[in-house]
Structure 1
Amino acid sequence: MISPDQLSDPAVRAFVIAVNAGDRSAFQAALTPGATMSDDGSDRDIAQWAEKEIFSSGGHMEVDKESDGGLALIVNYRNDTWGEMRTAWRFVTEGGRISRFETGQA
């Protein structure tokens, strides 16, 4: 496993640390204004998705692998709703923040 503070890309590192801390403010700060996301191929509203999948359900990312300069992760993701699942995450960054992320089953 890769410790979040050892992730290569600073924006992705901030994102993972915010998710694991349940820190809504830090999560928002890691994203560009107007950032977008998709879950299993369907675009979602980030605020609604994050509240449900991360903050109100104790979401946690345990990073197994990173590639593409730290913009692609394989994660054991768990929350109180779904339990634990192996997920893939891809990030697009802009100006040191995340402008889009895509996640889904790995």
Structure 2
Amino acid sequence: MTIQPARLSDPAVRAFVTAVNAHDRDAFLALLTPDATMSDDGADRDLGDWIDREIFSCNGHMAVDKETRDGRGLVVNYRNDTWGEMRTRWSFQVHDDGRIARFETGQP
């Protein structure tokens, strides 16, 4: 059963999922530290290029199945117009100020 974004435990992760699903790039970027980084399937990627290509230009959507690590880890059915739907894992490093410093995604 899918966990509704509003019910996610960690406020930063909740806002991340909400911004992705609303296709709100500005809200998404406001959640990140200025030097935020990310990786996809274990390889570091250019964050700006990746989010445009994998989320915002192709209608990315996260349907959360499970939370781990007190809400900073997710198992998600992720879909976009490019790749269709796939089961993915997401992990977040959140600074004390509540902004995301790094996220990692990939297939489980």
TM-score (norm 2): 0.97
**Percent identity over the alignment?**
68
Query: 1:100 maps to which residue?
Result: 102
Pairing 1:1-106 to 2, within 5 Å after superposition? 1-94=2-95, 95-106=97-108
Residue 66 of structure 1 and its aligned partner are, at CA, apart by 0.2
Equivalences, count: 106
Distance 1:7 1:30 in 2: 16
Which consecutive unaligned segments of at least 5 residues does structure 2 have?
none
Residue 82 of structure 1 and its aligned partner are, at CA, apart by 0.3
TM-score (norm 1): 0.98
Q: Please tell me the residue identity of whatever aligns with 2:101.
A: S
Distance 1:79 1:10 in 2: 24
Q: Deviations over 1:23-58 (max 9, x none)?
A: 010000111111000000010111100000000000
Which consecutive unaligned segments of at least 5 residues does structure 1 have?
none
